[in-house]
């Protein structure tokens, strides 16, 4: 299974469409700051499942800031990261990931692409797909009990 991971689109749906066309994912995960952008993407690709969480610019009161999803037997934490202090350091995110027993923690907010394996948990920040200078996104390949995160430039 191939998952396209995007965050911080900030109105740039076209970069997300380019990533969808390039990657041909089975699923998209949008990590916030572009809730409406994800809805537009959903209308352009109605057969493509899209999971999302709100970011600090989305103003989605009553919508959970974090979600745990399971695909291909892997537990995945989705968050924008603003409620977990990711601009300071990743310690709160790691505590949450360990407490939830996840295999992967996906976050955005910093606009800086990042991938690292820590204590058996993959941390992936796809950066900002809406960055006008260097838009980035991530992919997550799941299958046969494994998971491979990667970072890409649009």
CATH code for the domain in which residue 54 is found: 3.60.21.10
Task: Identify which of 140, 147, 97 has the alpha carbon closest to the alpha carbon of residue 7.
Answer: 140
DSSP 8-state code for residue 75: E
* pLDDT band at residue 97 using 50, 70 and 90 as cut-offs: very high
Domain that residue 73 falls in: 2-153
* pLDDT band at residue 60 using 50, 70 and 90 as cut-offs: confident
pLDDT averaged over the chain? Answer: 97
* pLDDT band at residue 85 using 50, 70 and 90 as cut-offs: very high
Give Cβ neighbours of residue 125 (< 8 Å, ≥ 6 apart): 7, 81, 86, 106, 107, 108, 109, 110, 112, 113, 114, 115, 138
Residue range 123-153, pLDDT digits in tens: 999 999 999 999 999 999 999 999 999 999 9
pTM beyond 0.85, yes or no: yes
Q: How many domains does the chain have?
A: 1
Judged against a pLDDT cut of 90, whether residue 29 lies above it is answered with yes
Give the per-residue pLDDT at 111: 97
Judged against a pLDDT cut of 90, whether residue 68 lies above it is answered with yes
Judged against a pLDDT cut of 90, whether residue 62 lies above it is answered with no
Judged against a pLDDT cut of 90, whether residue 3 lies above it is answered with yes
Bridging pattern class, strands 136-143 and 114-118: unpaired
* pLDDT band at residue 109 using 50, 70 and 90 as cut-offs: very high
């Amino acid at each position: 299974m191939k998952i396209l991971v995007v965050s911080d689109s900030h109105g740039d749906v076209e970069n997300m469409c380019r990533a969808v066309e390039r990657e041909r994912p089975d699923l998209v995960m949008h990590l916030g700051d572009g809730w409406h952008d994800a809805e537009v993407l959903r209308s352009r690709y109605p057969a493509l499942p899209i999971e999302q969480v709100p970011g600090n610019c989305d103003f989605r009161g009553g919508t959970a800031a974090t979600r745990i999803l399971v695909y291909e037997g892997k537990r995945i934490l989705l968050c924008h990261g603003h409620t977990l202090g990711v601009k300071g350091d990743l310690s709160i995110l790691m505590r949450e990931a360990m407490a939830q027993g996840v295999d992967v923690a996906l976050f955005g907010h910093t606009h800086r692409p990042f991938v690292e394996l820590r204590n058996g948990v993959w941390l992936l920040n796809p950066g900002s797909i809406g960055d006008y200078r260097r838009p980035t996104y991530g992919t997550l390949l799941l299958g046969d009990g494994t998971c491979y995160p990667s970072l890409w430039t649009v």
